[in-house]
Amino acid sequence: MTSLNELRAFIVGWTGACGEALSKELAKNNHFKQVILIGRREVKLGEDDPRSKFQQAVVDYDNLEQSRDVFKDCAVGFMTLGTTRGQAGADGFVKVDYEYTMNAAKIAKECGCKQLNYVSSQGAHKDSMFLYPQTKGKVEHELTQLGFDQLFIHRPALLLRGEKSRGVEKLGHILMKPVTAFKPTWNQIRVEDVARSLMAKSAEFGKGNKTEILSNALMHEAAKSLEA
């Protein structure tokens, strides 16, 4: 069986909260032979940043086909791309979270990606009346139609981003404190644990063909398994 440290992997959306956390976690070890950080801009990383060993690939998501070679020979993919309606407007949100994500997934599959890990959202459902869960659910559904050997859909609840937390997330965290003090894993998750959940499932590479949806609670379990 092929070991992970013989494989190439990519992260789409690595400058976002979950993608950044994932890139940092991956840089702590030799999880993969090579990691391609895919984004719309180059980020200057200091020599003391362990992620400087990774390759950065700058792409135009509106013309992603022109950069399809960056996905070549990547057996494992992480899709962490995303924005919000508040940041990009309704049309911008759909363009990023649906169009860009699906285009990247299709090209990756065509270029040989065997396992895809997608960061979705708690409550995702393609038939939802609300735009955010509907869009996430639509992506989930269409990803299952692409034929990846393995597809892991991670559904985090409220993301705890530390200093990068958005206003609504900070408010939600404050309001949920009485509940999360009793059951910390119920309705929130640190971005670092999202990253560990992604890494834990990537370690199942080659262990059968399957599609699996991880709830927020299951993501916590996966993250803990990586630490064990």
- Using left for φ > 0, alpha for ψ between -120 and 50, and beta otherwise, residue 142 falls in alpha
Check if the beta carbon of residue 172 is closer than 8 Å to that of residue 158.
Answer: yes
Grouping H, G, I as helix, E, B as strand and the rest as coil, residue 64 is helix
pLDDT grade for 130, boundaries at 50, 70 and 90: very high
Percent with pLDDT over 90 in the chain: 77
Determine which one of 95, 106, 126, 132 is catalytic: 132
13 Rama class: left (phi>0) / alpha (psi -120 to 50) / beta: left
Opening angle at CA 148, ends 72 and 193, nearest 5? 90
pTM, entire model:
0.89
Domains and CATH numbers, the chain: 4-159+190-227 (3.40.50.720)
Give the Cα separation of 58 and 54 in Å (integer): 13
The pLDDT value given to residue 163? 56
Summarised one tens digit per residue, pLDDT across range 57-95 is 999 999 999 999 999 999 999 999 988 888 878 999 999
Whether 136 is catalytic? yes
Q: In this structure, are residues 129 and 167 in contact, taking their beta carbons and an 8 Å threshold?
A: no
Taking a C-beta distance cutoff of 8 angstroms, is the pair 30, 38 a contact? Answer: no
Q: Model confidence over 93-111: pLDDT tens digits? A: 999 999 999 999 999 999 9
Query: So what's the pLDDT on residue 184?
Result: 61
For residue 141, which amino acid is it? H
Could you report the per-residue pLDDT of 173-206, keeping only the tens digit for each? Answer: 555 555 555 556 668 999 999 999 999 999 999 9
Residue of 136, 170, 207, 224 marked active site: 136
pLDDT tens digits, residue range 19-56? 999 999 999 988 899 999 999 999 999 889 999 999 99
